[in-house]
Structure 1
Amino acid sequence: MRKKKILFVINTLGRAGAEVALLSLFSAIDPNQYELSLYVMMAQGEMKDALPSYVHLKNPYFSTESVLTEEGRRDMMKTVLRKFIQNGKWFKKAAYMLRVWKQMHKNGKIMPDKILWRVISDGSEQFDETFDLAVAYLEGASTYYVADHVKARQKAAFVHIDYESSGYTPLMDKDCYRHMDRIFMVSDEVKKHFIKYYPQYQNKVAVFHNMLDYKKITSKAKEAGGFTDSYDGIRLLTVGRLAYQKAYDIAIDAMKIIKDSGCKARWYVLGEGSEREMLEKKIAQLGLQKDFLLLGAVENPYPYYVQTDIYVHATRFEGKSIAIQEAQILGCPVIASDCNGNREQIENGIDGILCSLTPEAIADSIKELIADPKKREKYAKRARNRNTQNNDELDLLLNMTK
């Protein structure tokens, strides 16, 4: 019997939540039944070597530099320029960018990456073959590309973010979701906010929770690694890009309150991003150089989870956080901001704490758990039992190839 051909498309292949979830999804699909291909819009990312051997990377060239490094940013800008030129239609691309920029300016927030996504899509490689299923695994360029430039019997798109808060608009998307046979949301909250903007696609929408490889995570957590200092106080951990969404500016203020209260705690952050310089300045201004540590991105974050006392995820908005799921799998008590996405992953007072996104509320929640080891243990145990995998959702995706 012929293997069904599935093409997955993602924007980058860096060390981030969606990429981790995609790799776990690959591991759950039987390569004896499905021929899997991957196209990366930016042709870049340090997780290329983590791809299973049976996944065919369709990019004719590829950079393994992280998009968060200086060299990686240079590679990324070269790719953007090349894709603006490639396939022509320069005036059409420029006109689209201008329309979106004007809308963003009117709304008071300019997001350059989102302005460029359609340009990147229209300048990308176009393949002659027809797939049984094409899957846009991220919103933005991946979705535009699958909608406009991929030949497939069936098409699906994943939405990982709170559409309302993240800056996407129907004008920017140009009705690309009309071309999708199924639209998968990673949580019920993501579904609710998406349907607010696209009520006409309600019958296409289904929930497909992020898949994580539990055995791999627990195995890698036992490997060598983790904290290298000899600190003997309470360790706080956050994993995520150094980006506005993650609200590290507020976390730093919370750490200042914790320090001034006399609590012996140290906050560690695993991740890299464009806000590093700004955050380092704020850390220095508040005298927290030994208390709030930006450790950068690491290849294996899991030993850090098991060595930490409290995992903190105080973000402005989320779709569904992979980092929270990983913390729960590895038995961390979790504190998170009470925002879209987070509140679906934590039941306040049962398996973690949801708090307001203010320095005072975050600091009070941390101090509450520092003072109560039994409560930390209770939350950790319940969080560990929370995560279950739903194979029916995988079947819903793969049945699209029939």
Structure 2
Amino acid sequence: MRKKILFVINTLGRAGAETALLELLKFLDSPEYDISLYVIMGQGEMAGKLPAYVRLRNPSFDEHSVLSRKGKRRMMKTVCKAFFRNGGLVKKIRNIVRNLTSMRGRGKLQTDKLLWRMLSDGSLRFEEEFDLAVAWLEGASAYYVAEHVRAARKCAFIHIDYESAGYTREMDQNCWDSFEKIFAVSREVREHFLAVYPEYADKTGVFHNLVDQEGIRRRSRERGGGFYGMEGGSNGMEGGSNGMEGGSNGMEGGSNGMEGVSDGYEGKRLLTVGRLTYQKATDIAIDAMKILKERGCQARWYVLGDGDQRGALEKKIAALGLKEDFVLLGAVENPYPYYVQADIYVHATRFEGKSIAIQEAQTLGCAVIASDCNGNREQIEEGVDGIFCQLTPEGIADSIEALLGDEEKRKKLGKAAERKNMAQEQELQKLLELL
């Protein structure tokens, strides 16, 4: 009898946790397992990357990014349907009001977390029972698996610094009681989760992201890695950061037919990969680039990713006169050629769980500069395979300037990073033991 496994995730967009899930699913290609995936929002541009043996349980699915215009319209329809589906309108309203009151008390309104409970209660239900149900993310996924999925065993994954991300006991409503095992993606993520829920210490372990290092290296050599004119990016699109048709380099939209960036720039290249959100601190990176330019540093900074802060960041880039120096490339299909082109990979974030982007950069032999914060500390050995910087414009700029001026050190850090062997089979076994 094949074991029936259900994975649940909030969205299937181009981000770290989603990438980590796709990597995990690759390791579950076995006749022993009948694998299903349910996406709470029924949306995300990564659906086409699902292995053929994974059954997507959403009756309809929209592959537009939740950050695109069409994606946002679809998302609003999903929210409205969830509000009325399965009844319980009074309970749903009560939960929204409770979460709103809690957020106002903390002085920080987070729209997604405000609605996660309602979306969970308003999602589709399955009559069948699964051998294992996996909540791949915090929020709606965890609430849904805990309360609305029939399964012999249940486990959940924590991908973020739980204290910093804004989740609370009031919001969670004891959902974690329902899980036999809780996996944190790093030791620090586990520590921060247990700071909120110390009573779950015995059932909370560490499960490191699975990384297909050979696959990353292979894809880094593919041509056509860079894409211009993509919805959501800054090249050749309405609302782009440079206002030029065809992208920051005057190129036509579509695949550029080259590996990564092909703008003819001959100076040093900096790269950051991540969503344009408060967590990723792109606003501070822009200030750091301004300092580097004022110091006469010949470098151009590229950012792959999209997010809700894009408009504000574009305005800041323009106001500081950095349109040619700090380039928002948007989300791309294959980011790996960009890593290979970079002289330094910069990951200056406010907090992290465990960064897939850092693991990708290390796999491809990049010299890495990362902010000295939760999550990043566990992935880098200071001075051996990367260096830390203070999360200030001056701190970031100082570290970049020093490392750009020391080619020997850059090569040493990159070679050490490339030699890192990232665990695979032993991590997977932690999950399969639940079966």
- Report the TM-score, using the length of structure 2 for normalisation: 0.91
Equivalent residue number for residue 97 of structure 2: 98
Matched with 2:248 is: none
Q: Is this contact kept in 2: 1:156–1:181, CA < 8 A?
A: yes
The structural deviation recorded for 1:386 is 2.1
Could you list the per-position Cα deviations for residues 291-349 of structure 1 after superposition, in whole angstroms to 9, with x for gaps in the alignment?
00001100110110111110000000000000000000011000011000011111111
- Taking the TM superposition and a 5 Å limit, the aligned residue runs for 1:1-400 are 2-224=1-223, 225=225, 226-400=260-434
SS of 1:64 mapped into structure 2: coil
Q: Answer with 355-364 or 388-397: which moved more.
A: 388-397
Question: Do 2:8 and 2:38's aligned partners in 1 also have CA atoms closer than 8 Å?
Answer: yes
Once the two structures are TM-superposed, the CA of residue 109 in structure 1 deviates from its matched residue by 0.4
Distance 1:102 1:32 in 2: 48
8 Å Cα contact 2:2/2:31 also seen in 1: yes
Q: 1:175 offset after TM fit, Å?
A: 0.8
Structure 1 contact 328–387 (Cα < 8 Å) conserved: no
Give the letter aligned to residue 46 of structure 1: E
Separation in 2, partners of 1:31, 1:49:
20
Q: Tell me the amino acid that sits aligned with residue 140 of structure 1.
A: G
Query: What is the CA–CA distance in structure 2 between the aligned matches of 1:171 and 1:76, rounded to whole Å?
Result: 25
Residues 188 and 207 in structure 1, CA contact (< 8 A), matched pair in contact too: yes
Instruction: Please report how far the alpha carbon of residue 212 of structure 1 lies from its aligned counterpart in structure 2 after TM superposition.
Output: 1.4
Where 1:400 maps in the other structure, the secondary structure is coil
CA distance in 1, matches of 2:212, 2:427: 15
In 2, distance between residues paired with 1:217 and 1:33? 27
Deviation at 1:3, TM superposition (A): 1.1
Using the aligned pairs only, state the percent identity: 62
Which amino acid is the alignment partner of residue 282 of structure 2? Y
After TM superposition, the runs of 4+ consecutive aligned structure 1 residues lying more than 6 A away are none
Q: Distance in 1 between matches of 2:421 and 2:166?
A: 29
State the SS of the aligned residue for 1:153.
strand
Q: How far apart in 1 are the matches of 2:276 and 2:170?
A: 28
1:325-374, Cα deviation, whole Å (9 max, x unpaired) = 00000110000110000111111112111111000000000001100001
Q: Distance in 1 between matches of 2:20 and 2:214?
A: 14
What is the distance in 2 between the residues matched to 1:392 and 1:200?
Answer: 26
Once the two structures are TM-superposed, the CA of residue 215 in structure 1 deviates from its matched residue by 2.0
Aligned residue type for 2:192: H
User: C-alpha displacement at 1:392, in angstroms?
Assistant: 2.2
Which one has a larger percent helix, Structure 1 or Structure 2?
1
Q: Partners in 2 of 1:143 and 1:377 — Cα distance?
A: 42
Aligned-residue CA RMSD (Å): 0.8
Cα distance per residue 1:95-125 (max 9 Å; x no partner): 1111111111011100010010010000001
- The 2-side partners of 1:138 and 1:315 are apart by 20
Unaligned runs of 5+ in 1: none
Tell me the TM-score normalised to structure 1 length. Answer: 0.98
Cα distance, 1:54 vs structure 2: 0.2
State the shift of 1:274 in Å.
Answer: 1.1
Query: Which residue identity lines up with residue 52 of structure 1 in the other structure?
Result: P
Q: Structure 2 unaligned runs (5+)?
A: 226-259
Whole-Å separation in 1 of the counterparts to 2:422 and 2:261: 29
Corresponding residue number in structure 1 for 2:244: none
What is the rounded CA distance, in whole Å, between the counterparts of 2:114 and 2:311 in structure 1?
A: 24
